[in-house]
Amino acid sequence: MAKERSEVKDIDRSLYDFRYEEKEEDFYKVREGLTPEIVREISREKHDPEWMLEFRLKSLDIYNELKIPEWGPDISGLNMDDIVTYVRSKTGMQAAWEDVPSDIKDTFEKLGIPEAERTSLAGVGAQYDSELVYHNVKEEVLAQGVIYTDMESALTGEYEGMVREHFMKLVPPTDHKFAALHGAVWSGGSFVYVPPGVKVEIPLQSYFRLNAAGAGQFEHTLIIVSEGADLHFIEGCSAPKYNVANLHAGCVELFVGKNARLRYSTIENWSKNMYNLNTKRAICEEGASMEWVSGSFGSHVSYLYPMTILKGNDSHCEFTGITFAGAGQNLDTGAKIVQLGERTSSFINTKSISKSGGESTFRSALTIREGARDSKASVSCASLMLDDISRSDTIPAMDIRTNEADVGHEAKIGRISDDAVFYLMSRGISEEDAKAMIVSGFADNVSKELPLEYAVEMNNLIQLEMKGAIG
Amino acid sequence: MKINSLKSLTWNALKLNEVILEDKIVLNGSGKATVEKIPAGAMIGNESCSDCGGCDLKSSFNIRSVKCGMGEEAEAFFAEASKDVLMVHARPGRSVTEPVSIRYLMENGDSNADRVEIHAAEDSSITVIMDYSSSKREARGFFGVQTKIWVGRNAKVHLVKVNLLGSGFLCLDDIGVFVEDNGYFDITQMCLGGGRNYIGLSAALKGYKAEFNGDMGYLCLNDQSLDMNYYIAHTGRKTGSSLNVKGALRDRAGKNFRGTIDLIRGAGGAHGNELEDVLLLSDGVVNKTLPVILCDEEDVEGTHGASIGRLSSDMLYYMQTRGFSKYEAELLATKAKLNSVRNLIKDEHTHGRIQYYMEEAFK
């Protein structure tokens, strides 16, 4: 007898896969590869201060010394000799939307960025390839003393001292090979400073679009949330698909001051030719709270483990993440937490879905050091396998060095429960609808943490449409 | 020597991917095994099982090919260090009611490595107790044992391993298991003694409905360390595994636990579960836990859980209202954890030895 099977559709990427052919004369780019000359050229183009050029060259040396990680997904398809590390539009960054070149403007219009800015954001930065093409902040947010600008303006303007004090201090170039690469060729990204006690009521957003084939994007995001301040920052990323490898090796450094709160939400939807080797790290002072909300849907290969250092006493971190790995994807995601202060607490809660031959790996590291008395931590991960050609692994590590800690961990890998389907069917729901409801509910803990428009986008990304098929 | 490598590597900074043993091990052959009695239905010998003639072995049967948990370099070490193999065999269809006891008395300065093979033929069952001890607490030396187990169709093996060695011993305990259709392998381990202890276990659940059950209890005091690497491969359909590890760390003790459940494509209906429960009794301890599930089969279920930390405040409060001090309450909780594993050993003599060792350790 033929067996009826239910299938979950792949993510519909057509929204993100459109592309405009870039005219050579409209863009400036360096040649492929990674040499000291290219690094100098990027630095010259960006009008770096002298110390930044030295920093870049030193990072390049570190890059050449460090090995490719041997523990994660295969990245042998990534050849740095083929990657263009710097591409920018010749028009420069605009503060007025109408001044942005029409093809770039159309790209962001299709992605809904201006609309989101009008309806629900306090400020927007839009990066196209290596540089920001548009940046705008609402007057009332500026009036609060909030600084939200592109990294280049911050670096070469009045905030240079603040940038120099914080730039790649949390993620030093020695951290790993791709942090060193970032240090050498970084470009674009945002700088945010929230003064003490200021609560930014509506989110700021940066959107990163990598349009050029065979290019890399290396944006640097530096956010300083001062004592008692509050901020929600949203990051979105996408790219059209090409037949050549693209690389994303961005870096995010977050400094969360005493009793401050920062929520950092990401919907990552790079194309399936992308190597996403991104590094994100936060440090929390006394009483601070760091919240990560992370959705990983795109990329061919992903290494993504936002890290939080709970340095101050009573600081807290929550990480909520979902990963959806479809055909041709190997997504290695998770989180790292280091608890140093007393009475610190952390909570990691992740979900992953694998289908159509996709591979997802949840990888985490929880470290509670000697001085972190009365600390608590919980790590929870659940994985759903939707067919028998996919793969799902969980690799959670815990390193506990004080007896005055309470740590709990639970993980589960499995398929959609027959009992749950039976229960729903006994209430008159069809098998297909029942499975759709279960998968939708599985992702619910992440979608409810997202702003409404992003939750809608996520639900669009996961088209949990079930269909009957003979199999 | 590289041992206890993870199948799925992770960040090198965690120092959990493998162990590099830099000790120069010089064997002096002292501390040989003593088999106390040979119960009816069992055979003991010093030759390869395939030559014993006690059962109708298939030509493909080769217990020597069973892979152990410590890896290839340990395999080569044991092959070189111990030419003889102590073989324990349960005859087909026989239920060996009395346990086979293999005892190693390792005194100060002893250094020995041994190999043991346990073969349970079809429809048989057997319990083997392996006990390594020293008469003096502070005894120093080296003890290594490689144990390979073949569990035949519908057979059952219960392996008990008890480590009561002196605190200066380096101990390597390398275990490999192969389970055929409907076979059941059960291991109960108590690791209380030794100075630096390394355990590697690899179980291949090849047969239909092959089962693995593991219970491990440990106590690490002073500068003791324990490194565990368990790897359970589900290749057969409807195979099952359960691994429960519980123990306590005090003073400057350290422990690494790696537990990997590998649900391999084709193992439809398989389920694997691992649990770790660690009581931390001092601020200077180092506890590392890495419970891994690898899965490339849809119709399976894998779970793991861990609870690490101090005695819960509710429990402590309850105990203190009954007149126990914090120290006494922790002691009681530690003994309760270890006794829950000890009680799975159905041998009074071994019970008594473990009890005595624990009482002495807590003095």
Nearest chain B residue to A400, by CA: B287
CA atoms within 13 A on the CB side of B233: 21
Q: Give the single-character DSSP code of A97.
A: G
Q: How many CB atoms are located within 10 Å of the residue A446 CB?
A: 21
pLDDT greater than 90 at residue B62 = no
Q: What are the boundaries of each domain within chain A?
A: 12-304, 418-471
β-bridge partners, B112: B143
Q: Which of A71, A404, A414 sits opposite B300 (nearest CB)?
A: A414
Span A202-208, average pLDDT:
84
Q: What is the ipTM of this complex?
A: 0.93
Span A358-364, average pLDDT:
96
Residues of chain B in contact with residue A388, where contact means CB-CB under 8 angstroms, are: 265, 297-299
Could you identify the residue written with the tokens 């044991």? B78
**A407–B292: do the CB atoms touch at under 8 Å?**
no
Judge contact between A245 and A82, C-beta under 8 A. yes
Residues of chain B in contact with residue A412, where contact means CB-CB under 8 angstroms, are: 301-303
In Å, how far is A397's CA from the nearest CA of chain B?
A: 4
Residue B304 phi, psi dihedral angles, 5° rounding: -145, 155
Q: Which of A397, A405, A413 sits opposite B16 (nearest CB)?
A: A397
Q: How far apart are CA B305 and CA A429, in angstroms?
A: 33
**B309–A393: do the CB atoms touch at under 8 Å?**
no
- Pairing mode, if any, of strands A345-354 and B156-164? unpaired
Q: How far apart are CA B202 and CA B101, in angstroms?
A: 23
Judge contact between B161 and B173, C-beta under 8 A. yes
Judge contact between A320 and A334, C-beta under 8 A. no
CA atoms within 13 A on the CB side of A59: 28
Supply the Cα-derived Rg of chain B in whole angstroms.
Answer: 20
Q: How far apart are CA A56 and CA A59, in angstroms?
A: 5
Measured between alpha carbons, how far is residue B141 from residues B31, B117, B134 in Å? 10, 24, 10
Residues of chain A in contact with residue B311, where contact means CB-CB under 8 angstroms, are: none
Q: Which of B290, B298, B307 sits opposite A415 (nearest CB)?
A: B298
Which tokens hold the place of A276? 């996403």
Torsion of CA B39, B43, B47, B48, to 10 degrees: -130
β-bridge partners, A277: A303
**A370–B284: do the CB atoms touch at under 8 Å?**
yes
Mean pLDDT (chain A) is 85
pLDDT greater than 70 at residue A456 = no
Cα end-to-end distance, chain A, whole Å: 10
Nearest chain B residue to A375, by CA: B309
In Å, how far is A36's CA from the nearest CA of chain B?
A: 29
Nearest chain B residue to A377, by CA: B308
Q: Which of A387, A407, A409 sits opposite B298 (nearest CB)?
A: A387
Which tokens hold the place of B246? 């519980």
Residues of chain B in contact with residue A385, where contact means CB-CB under 8 angstroms, are: 295, 297-298, 300
- H or E element that contains A238: strand A230-238
Instruction: Label residue A382 by pLDDT band (50, 70, 90).
Output: very high
**A403–B283: do the CB atoms touch at under 8 Å?**
yes
* B contact residues 293-352, partner A, Cβ 8 Å cutoff: 293-310, 312
Nearest chain A residue to B279, by CA: A403
Q: Give the single-character DSSP code of B355.
A: H
Provide the residue type at A263 as one letter: R
Q: Which of A370, A403, A411 sits opposite B304 (nearest CB)?
A: A411
- Pairing mode, if any, of strands B19-20 and B2-3? antiparallel
**B309–A365: do the CB atoms touch at under 8 Å?**
no
pLDDT greater than 50 at residue B354 = yes
Which tokens hold the place of A35? 């040499």
pLDDT of the residue at B39: 85
Q: Is A168 helix (H, G, I), strand (E, B) or coil?
A: coil
Judge contact between B202 and B69, C-beta under 8 A. yes
A195 CA to centre of own chain: 25
Judge contact between A337 and A310, C-beta under 8 A. yes
Q: How far apart are CA B11 and CA A75, in angstroms?
A: 16
* A207: nearest Cα among A134, A99, A279, A158: A134
CA atoms within 13 A on the CB side of A342: 2
Instruction: Label residue B196 by pLDDT band (50, 70, 90).
Output: very high
Q: How far apart are CA A70 and CA A78, in angstroms?
A: 14
Q: How many CB atoms are located within 10 Å of the residue B59 CB?
A: 6
Q: Which of A385, A398, A404 sits opposite B295 (nearest CB)?
A: A385
Provide the residue type at B184 as one letter: Y
Residues of chain B in contact with residue A370, where contact means CB-CB under 8 angstroms, are: 283-284
In Å, how far is B318's CA from the nearest CA of chain A?
A: 18
Q: Is A74 helix (H, G, I), strand (E, B) or coil?
A: coil
pLDDT of the residue at B312: 86
Mean pLDDT (chain B) is 92
Q: How many CB atoms are located within 10 Å of the residue A110 CB?
A: 11
Q: How far apart are CA B261 and CA B303, in angstroms?
A: 9
Q: How far apart are CA B186 and CA B352, in angstroms?
A: 21
Write the pLDDT tens digit of every residue in B127-176.
999 999 999 999 999 999 999 999 999 999 999 999 999 999 999 999 99
Judge contact between B88 and B117, C-beta under 8 A. yes
β-bridge partners, A251: A220, A279
In Å, how far is B106's CA from the nearest CA of chain A?
A: 32
Could you identify the residue written with the tokens 């209430």? A427
Q: Is B36 helix (H, G, I), strand (E, B) or coil?
A: coil
Residues of chain A in contact with residue B286, where contact means CB-CB under 8 angstroms, are: 399-401
Indicate the angle between helix axes A50-65 and A177-185, nearest 10 degrees: 150
Q: Give the single-character DSSP code of B319.
A: H
Mutation for testing the A interface, residue in B276, B287, B311, B315 having most A CBs under 10 Å: B287
Span B102-120, average pLDDT:
94
pLDDT of the residue at B47: 56
| Helix, strand, coil percent values for chain B (each to nearest 5) | 15, 45, 40
> Does any CB of chain A come closer than 8 Å to the CB of residue B116?
no
* B102: nearest Cα among B180, B44, B18: B44
Write the pLDDT tens digit of every residue in A108-145.
666 666 666 666 666 677 777 767 667 777 788 889 99
Q: How far apart are CA A282 and CA A255, in angstroms?
A: 6
Span A153-158, average pLDDT:
90
Write the pLDDT tens digit of every residue in A232-267.
998 887 666 666 788 999 999 999 999 999 999 988
Write the pLDDT tens digit of every residue in A406-453.
999 999 998 888 888 899 999 999 887 787 778 778 877 777 776 666
pLDDT of the residue at A469: 27
**B310–A363: do the CB atoms touch at under 8 Å?**
no
Q: How far apart are CA B251 and CA B283, in angstroms?
A: 7
Q: How far apart are CA B249 and CA B333, in angstroms?
A: 12
pLDDT greater than 80 at residue B65 = yes
| Helix, strand, coil percent values for chain A (each to nearest 5) | 25, 40, 35
